[in-house]
Structure 1
Amino acid sequence: MLTRTKPLDLGPLFETLAERGSPTVVRLSRPLELAPEAGTEWTIPQLAELVRETSAQLAAAGVAPGHRVAVHKRNHWDYALLAAAAVRIGAVPALISGHLGPVSLRSLLRRLEPALLVSDRYTLAFGSSGHGIRTLCLDGPALGAIDADSLRGGAVPPVHRRRHDEPLVIIHTSGTTGLPKLVVHSTSSLIRKLTAAETRALPILSVRREDTVASAVSFSHGRAVSWTISALWRMPRTALLLADSDPEQAGRLLRAHRPTVLEALPASYVRWQRMAAEPDSPFTDMRVFISTFDAMHPPTVRTFLTASRRRHPLWLQGWGQTETGPLTFRLLTRRAMAERDGRHPTTRDLGRPIPGRVGLRVVHPETFRPVRRGEPGVILARTPGRCLGYEGEQERWAAKASGRWFNTGDIGVRSRTGRLRLLDREVDMIPGLSCVELEDVLHERLPDVEEVVVLGTGREAGGHRPPLPVLVTRDGTLDPRHWQRAVHDLPPLAEPLLIGWDALPRTGTGKVRRHELRDRYLTGVAASGTGRWT
């Protein structure tokens, strides 16, 4: 029997859900590369059979228990299905974002030494081939790759059982500061300690049977695996999976099946902000919005909460890292996002540590002694869901892990009541200022701005150069008078640099690659942060 009281095994997950009689219908924004001819609507039993057949194809391609299987393809939910199929036969899937280019991919593959690389024709055509690794192409013939169709029809292997403390899946970090780290999670850390808690019935926040849940994230990230387990375990009526954040394409699915619970990348929320403000907004039935990966700007949160016609919609903001899972959470309401007495609300207040599970310390970056409440320092975290380490970079892991504590590399302040306020990544810090706070204020004061990135600068021979604001506006212009009014009471800033949305370099999780912007626009200008814990 595969039935469990908790979802503790990723491999047979969909078989277990089918046994439980899950009525969930999964609807996709476009067909899966894993099954390009099968359309965009799936039942749970159909998905269980797809995972079984895929595990047979991987076995036919030579994958055995303990092997690494790298997945590098276009963003879609089949990352999670491929992970389940690999885990089902005892392999360890390594999920690599299709946003990573050939050079970064080759570096990660050298660390992984996978038995098989799984990809698609689109990704292979743009330079993910030529690395000498046996490659399986999911959606048709490709030069130098095995056509997945040629491996159909083989015997389905039995479910392979592994210890809970053994490697289960490898996920890379966002890579905002350079080449991503490969994070190794086990069944214990990713599922038993992190994901299983989300499957419990929690007032207001838990997925309900009548819900239409939607996910629009980077499906190569570990959050996609956790979401797949926790959301489907609750057996909602409908699950929407959006592979692209393009407002027109996403809008079609969202309007056809209006969601009640939505988790999306911060960059996707920003792109959909105008859609949320329209009279026919698809977010009118929303009761819970969820954002992870990065903090949101208050005007964006306010727009979506206003779009809901429910009396008390909520925004759940989580903060954590790939290595640790969620560390804090905060519930945002319309009232919390309203301006009062000229003061701007903030989403940089991350709330408190998850009770009973997470411990936080704020320490001096040189001595690592705890600082007093109200003083900034580097944030250390203690959590039972911490990963096993970094694949091929144990020295780097040792520099960030000290006993049960993990160095997040973020700078923050604890209040007297224990709330955590995020200031910056240490590598991006400006002494005495907060880039992210400046970005929030500029967003509030410049409604036509879609994205703000403030790049800090270090000391030069002639003194400090003022931080550089990089702005994305709706029409590519900015009235100088509006800019002057917005910054009149702020610390000195350089004249803003205007660029287009597509010119802003991002990771697969939608985070801005600040180091690339620095290399592009601040060549030779040193940063203030050390970057020791990136």
Structure 2
Amino acid sequence: MSAPAGVGVDRVGELTAVAAARWGDRECARFGEITLTFSGLHQWAGAIAADLVSRGVGRGDRVMMLLVNRIEVLAVSAAAWRIGAVAVPVVAIYRTHELKTIVRDCRPAAVVTAVRLAERCLADELDSCLAAAGIEPMARYLVDDDGPRGEWEPLPGRETPVPGLTLPDPSAPEQECLRLYTSGSTSAPKGVRLHSRSVIFGAEQFRHRLGIGEADTGLALAPVAHIAGLLAALLVPLTCGARAVLLPRWEVAAAVRVIHDERVTWSLGAAVFLKDMVEEYERRRVEGLHVLNFFVSGGANTAPELIERAQALGMWAARTYGMTEAAGVVTLAPRDAPLKRRARWDGQLADNAEARVVDEAGRPVPPGAEGVITIRGTQLALGYTDPELNRAQFNAERWFDTGDIGFVTADGWVRITGRAKDIINRGGEKFSSVDIEHVLHRHPGVAAAAVIPVPDERLGEAVCAFVVPRPRTPPPTPEQLASFMLTQDLAKAKIPTEWRIVDALPRTASGKIQKHLLRAAAVGKPS
């Protein structure tokens, strides 16, 4: 099977112009009743880009978006790319606890948000974080019409004419164009700096491996501020002419109905999405629903049986291995991969990607031997915003230490068997255990705390906290601890759902907590 033709550009800021010339008035994206053509996206992005430039925003400046899934994220990202600025979409689950760190690191020249999200006032939260960091953006935009609000102004709309303003050229292929914040082994969200070649390469892998093209419709079910959501909603459509349907939030019954009504053919995301869909399809098998054709499922948390159940429903599904640092795609199974491979391995290395498995001393091991997986290739990020992280995870030859343990066969098939990093992957959201521990330690009744991931049937991993109460005080209850964490503006998804109140934590002679013993205790296995 030959892949559909690509766009043939290597600067992400050129994508909307090329896509508009090729696919014009064909639908590019849909969000509820709102539709956007390829030409419409290009025109809207141009209007926003011109407004940004008129306010002084230019090359290399960061344009930060704090939004849930909305079609405006696509237009603002494309606008930033058009003028050589850096698009910085931020997941809206982050609250001021995380946003203060992101704002200080990002130092945005422009910010885009909504006034409200449920009980939260996002504009006020951003104002507070910007003031704390001493940052005065050149532009503050609101996507909802809630009347005047201080320094915030409405984002230029879809019908805004493009003024006759000369725009700067898009950034060069190897310059930063996209920054995504992801929690890892450190306590603060990490800023990952991606360039045009990396994000275009990542998007085109779905055309090369699965044959996604103009006849396809993708479902963006992950947050568009994630690399998975951004791929499905914007980057894959712009590189192959497919259309995208954005979900405002994940509700499996609504998603299955959208898949049926819009004849959606493909999607990608965490294993929890696939599990929910398979169970919904199995429950509603007699209704004659259109079943998703292809689903690419995030990695080792995807049980082989789930891939097999999807196959029985008529859905091609495959495990994959991806990360923000590699534009979402380290591996991807080809369309003709047999079921056994797709179910029990985490994909085949992407085009131009290299993997080297090393032992604890950093020495390469033979193909098929287990060790720490290091990678390099076109899709690899420029690095982090933190130089210390760059020194820790990139060597002089640009090999990136993934922190994941596994095997790589001679023909490039990868299987992940464990993780060296101390992070929790809850339904595709990656959180730092250390960050959660820091918040727990603020509680006046907590003497010590340790947080670990534990298996969860639906989400892959759940958050489990071991807590040592302070002596001579009533031990706090799990309910009290959870309520306290809510007051600390921590993302709700980080709050533990499993609790262990213990007398002491196991430690080494040097005082380091032995988390492997906690993991064994949490799942009831002998240490």
TM-score, length of structure 2 as denominator length: 0.71
Matches within 5 A, 1:53-68: 53-68=47-62
Partner of 1:290: 296
Partner of 2:198: 189
Partner of 2:355: 360
Deviation by residue 1:5-43 (Cα, 9 ceiling, x = unmatched): 51433334233222113453245343xxxxxxxx42222
- Output the CA distance in 2 between the equivalents of 1:184 and 1:470: 31
Partner of 1:329: 332
CA contact (8 A) 2:203 2:239 kept: no
Letter of the 1:140 counterpart = D
- Output the CA distance in 1 between the equivalents of 2:26 and 2:376: 36
CA contact (8 A) 1:351 1:419 kept: yes
1:185 aligns to what SS in structure 2?
Answer: strand
Partner of 2:128: 130
CA contact (8 A) 1:75 1:97 kept: no
CA contact (8 A) 1:258 1:283 kept: no
Structure 2 vs 1, CA of residues 13 and 422 (structure 1 numbering), >3 Å: closer, same or farther?
same
Partner of 1:244: 249
Letter of the 1:243 counterpart = P
Deviation by residue 1:449-482 (Cα, 9 ceiling, x = unmatched): xxxxxx9xxxxxxxxx9x98554689xxxxxxxx
CA contact (8 A) 1:315 1:333 kept: no
The one of 385, 389, 398 equivalent to 1:396 is: 389
Partner of 1:508: none
Letter of the 2:8 counterpart = K
- Output the CA distance in 1 between the equivalents of 2:155 and 2:61: 22
Matches within 5 A, 1:486-525: 517=496, 520-521=499-500, 524=505
Deviation by residue 1:91-136 (Cα, 9 ceiling, x = unmatched): 2121211111211111011011111221112246153441224432
Structure 2 vs 1, CA of residues 243 and 138 (structure 1 numbering), >3 Å: closer, same or farther?
same
Partner of 1:116: 110
- Output the CA distance in 2 between the equivalents of 1:293 and 1:57: 41
- Output the CA distance in 2 between the equivalents of 1:332 and 1:176: 34
Partner of 1:229: 235
How far apart are 1:407 and its partner, in Å? 0.1
CA RMSD of aligned residues (A): 4.1
The one of 361, 365, 376 equivalent to 2:370 is: 376
Structure 2 vs 1, CA of residues 390 and 29 (structure 1 numbering), >3 Å: closer, same or farther?
same
Partner of 2:20: 18
CA contact (8 A) 1:69 1:86 kept: yes
Partner of 2:400: 406
- Output the CA distance in 1 between the equivalents of 2:261 and 2:401: 44
How far apart are 1:155 and its partner, in Å? 2.3
CA contact (8 A) 2:308 2:339 kept: no
CA contact (8 A) 2:274 2:295 kept: no
Matches within 5 A, 1:65-464: 65-123=59-117, 125-126=121-122, 127-131=125-129, 132=131, 133-134=136-137, 135-141=140-146, 143-148=149-154, 155=163, 157-161=165-169, 162-175=171-184, 178-191=187-200, 193-199=201-207, 205-227=210-232, 228-236=234-242, 238-277=243-282, 278-279=284-285, 284-292=290-298, 295-308=301-314, 313-325=315-327, 326-330=329-333, 336=339, 347=343, 349-354=345-350, 357-365=352-360, 367-373=361-367, 375-391=369-385, 393-402=386-395, 403-414=397-408, 419-427=413-421
- Output the CA distance in 2 between the equivalents of 1:125 and 1:80: 22
Structure 2 vs 1, CA of residues 56 and 207 (structure 1 numbering), >3 Å: closer, same or farther?
same
How far apart are 1:184 and its partner, in Å? 0.9
CA contact (8 A) 1:28 1:242 kept: no
TM-score, length of structure 1 as denominator length: 0.70
Structure 2 vs 1, CA of residues 522 and 188 (structure 1 numbering), >3 Å: closer, same or farther?
farther
Structure 2 vs 1, CA of residues 519 and 471 (structure 1 numbering), >3 Å: closer, same or farther?
closer
- Output the CA distance in 2 between the equivalents of 1:40 and 1:13: 22
Deviation by residue 1:343-394 (Cα, 9 ceiling, x = unmatched): xx98452244235x122222222x1112355543211112132211111x11
Letter of the 2:189 counterpart = P
2:392 aligns to what SS in structure 1?
Answer: helix
Structure 2 vs 1, CA of residues 335 and 52 (structure 1 numbering), >3 Å: closer, same or farther?
closer
- Output the CA distance in 2 between the equivalents of 1:13 and 1:280: 42
Q: Structure 2: which 5+ runs fail to align? A: 1-5, 427-432, 434-449, 460-478, 486-490, 507-512, 518-527
1:109 aligns to what SS in structure 2?
Answer: helix
Percent identical: 20
How far apart are 1:176 and its partner, in Å? 7.6
